[in-house]
């Protein structure tokens, strides 16, 4: 098999390989590639591949929509890494000078996962629900042990695709639902796991590997806590729970005007929250367990977004993808001391080389929940 090389003989050589089925078509793009961009997104947001080609001689044929391209990228001295299969769904021809842009999206999210369905689940575990959806979409499944046994009292899927339903279910557990290499994954957000269920190593990024960076701390969603309501059918009253950021505990459970203290440990981040800024979830949940779980999940999401760190690596790293944990060094102490999680990766190849742009978010402390959670 061949792989096209970019840049001059005196520089590191990035390489790429494109295949249709088992047929290597890399040679067709030799001397024509202007740029190749792969955006690796989290969850069910489809990964996107953009290929821009020189058609100044007018000899390029337009590929058929629906063609599936397999992409591998890397370096001549270390080899290529498979980045998945993509279905061509958009073509754009511009000029002069004439150029052809091919856009393709993750083939694994094609088909049944985006078909609207009606289903209802009662008294089922998260593991059983994910397995059922994986089976009907001809996928394997892998659910985190922390989540697999959680019981969903009742949840409906009404006119909703499997992808949307799983995303909604994952949101209530602060989890990620996605498909990688033929496996439907349902794992806690910020806890990197491979499709085989193995924990993935933490990646290390040093400043000398970087080209550009942006560190941003914002207080737009600097909430002091998250409040969720639930309907207590036995008491005939609406109760509320609050995950409180000011003292890092799930502190309040209020019903009929009475407040009880609780001591479950919650995630903390190094911020100065506004004591009067509590986020209230709109949905009224069916039980206290539902409300507490949703509030905890939302707080974890907020905690991850308090600060972001974006880096462009001068030498692209094809081994990087969303959900990996990362440590960084060589920047400000506050940046280096933060535990990060990769949330998006963009790989760019052109005649100037191969770079990887990373978007990192804070990796929150793990939250432990006791018992099962109703859905």
Question: Residue range 219-230: average pLDDT?
Answer: 77
Structure tokens at 263: 């001591």
Q: What was the pLDDT predicted at 14? A: 93
For the stretch 111-149, pLDDT in tens is 678 889 999 998 899 999 999 999 999 888 989 888 899
Whether 196 shows a pLDDT value over 60: the answer reads no
Q: Check whether residue 347 and residue 327 sit in a common domain.
A: yes
Distance CA 353, CA 314 (A): 9
Whether 251 shows a pLDDT value over 70: the answer reads no
Q: Check whether residue 86 and residue 46 sit in a common domain.
A: yes
Structure tokens at 166: 């799983």
Distance CA 325, CA 66 (A): 34
Distance CA 291, CA 301 (A): 15
Q: Check whether residue 76 and residue 170 sit in a common domain.
A: no
For the stretch 21-72, pLDDT in tens is 889 999 888 889 999 999 998 878 889 999 999 999 999 988 888 899 999 9
Which domain does 167 fall in, by range?
A: 111-188
Q: Check whether residue 18 and residue 89 sit in a common domain.
A: yes
Higher-pLDDT residue of 225 and 194 is: 225
Average pLDDT, the chain: 81
Q: Check whether residue 35 and residue 97 sit in a common domain.
A: yes
Q: What's the pLDDT band for 372 if we cut at 50, 70, 90?
A: very low
CA count, 13 A, side-chain hemisphere, 302: 29
CATH number of 339's domain:
2.40.30.150
Helix (H) or strand (E) holding 152: strand 151-161
Whether 234 shows a pLDDT value over 80: the answer reads no
Q: Which residue has the tokens 């003292």?
A: 247
DSSP 8-class letter at 334: H
Q: What was the pLDDT predicted at 214? A: 94
User: Strands across the sheet with 175-180, in order?
Assistant: 140-143, 183-188, 175-180
Q: Which residue has the tokens 């804070």?
A: 362
Q: Check whether residue 358 and residue 229 sit in a common domain.
A: no
Q: What was the pLDDT predicted at 219? A: 65
Last residue in a domain, options 278, 297, 316: 297
Structure tokens at 49: 């591949």
Structure tokens at 222: 């600097």
Q: Check whether residue 33 and residue 128 sit in a common domain.
A: no
Residue 31 inside a domain? The answer is yes
Whether 7 shows a pLDDT value over 70: the answer reads no
Higher-pLDDT residue of 300 and 328 is: 328
Q: Check whether residue 322 and residue 214 sit in a common domain.
A: yes
CB-based contacts of 190-199 (< 8 A; 24+ apart in sequence): 190/300, 190/304, 190/323, 190/325, 190/341, 190/363, 190/364, 191/144, 191/323, 191/366, 192/323, 192/324, 192/325, 192/341, 193/142, 193/144, 193/323, 195/140, 195/142, 196/142, 197/142
Q: What was the pLDDT predicted at 351? A: 86
Last residue in a domain, options 107, 141, 167: 107
Q: What contacts 9, CB < 8 A, 6 or more positions away? A: none
Distance CA 325, CA 358 (A): 12
The tally of domains found in the chain comes to 4
Residue 20 inside a domain? The answer is yes
CB-based contacts of 85-93 (< 8 A; 24+ apart in sequence): 86/47, 86/48, 86/49, 88/63, 88/64, 89/65, 90/65, 91/62, 91/63, 91/65, 93/55, 93/62
Q: Check whether residue 76 and residue 95 sit in a common domain.
A: yes
Residue 373 inside a domain? The answer is no
Higher-pLDDT residue of 292 and 2 is: 292
Whether 198 shows a pLDDT value over 80: the answer reads no
Whether 343 shows a pLDDT value over 60: the answer reads yes
Last residue in a domain, options 107, 130, 165: 107
Distance CA 271, CA 218 (A): 10
Question: Residue range 284-304: average pLDDT?
Answer: 80
Q: Check whether residue 23 and residue 41 sit in a common domain.
A: yes
Residue 195 inside a domain? The answer is no
Whether 205 shows a pLDDT value over 60: the answer reads yes
Whole-model pTM above 0.85? no
Distance CA 368, CA 146 (A): 9
Higher-pLDDT residue of 198 and 60 is: 60
Distance CA 133, CA 217 (A): 39
């Amino acid at each position: 098999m061949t792989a096209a090389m970019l840049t001059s003989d005196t520089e590191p050589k990035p390489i790429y390989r494109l295949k249709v089925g088992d047929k290597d078509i890399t040679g067709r793009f030799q001397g024509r590639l202007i740029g190749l961009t792969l955006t690796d997104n989290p969850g069910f947001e489809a990964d996107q591949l953009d290929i821009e080609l020189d058609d100044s001689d007018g000899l390029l044929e337009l590929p058929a929509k629906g063609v599936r391209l397999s992409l591998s990228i890397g370096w001549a001295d270390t080899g290529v890494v498979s980045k998945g299969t993509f279905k061509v769904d958009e073509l754009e021809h511009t000029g002069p000078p004439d150029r052809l842009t091919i856009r393709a999206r993750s083939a694994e999210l094609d088909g049944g996962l985006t078909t609207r369905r009606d289903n209802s689940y009662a008294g089922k575990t998260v593991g059983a629900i994910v397995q059922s959806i994986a089976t009907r979409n001809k996928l394997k499944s892998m659910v985190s042990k922390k989540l697999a046994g959680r019981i969903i009292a009742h949840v409906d899927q009404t006119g909703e695709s499997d992808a949307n339903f799983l995303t909604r279910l994952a949101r209530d557990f602060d989890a990620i639902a996605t498909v990688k290499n033929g496996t439907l994954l349902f794992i806690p957000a910020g806890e990197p796991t491979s499709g085989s269920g193995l924990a993935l190593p933490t990646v290390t990024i040093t400043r000398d590997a970087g080209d550009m960076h942006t560190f941003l701390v914002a207080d737009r969603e600097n909430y002091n806590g998250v409040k969720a309501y639930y309907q207590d059918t036995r008491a005939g009253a609406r109760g509320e729970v609050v995950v409180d950021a000011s003292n890092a505990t799930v502190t309040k459970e209020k019903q009929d005007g009475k407040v009880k203290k609780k001591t479950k440990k919650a995630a903390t981040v190094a911020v100065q929250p506004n004591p009067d800024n509590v986020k209230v979830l709109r949905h009224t949940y069916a039980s206290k367990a539902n409300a507490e779980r949703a509030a905890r999940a939302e707080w974890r999401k907020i905690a991850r977004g308090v600060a972001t760190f974006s880096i462009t690596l001068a030498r692209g790293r094809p081994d990087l993808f969303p959900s990996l944990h990362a440590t960084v060094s060589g920047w400000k102490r506050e940046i280096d001391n933060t535990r990060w999680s990769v949330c998006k990766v963009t790989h760019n190849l052109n005649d100037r080389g191969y770079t990887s742009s990373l978007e990192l978010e804070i990796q929150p402390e793990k939250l432990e929940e006791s018992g099962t959670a109703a859905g």
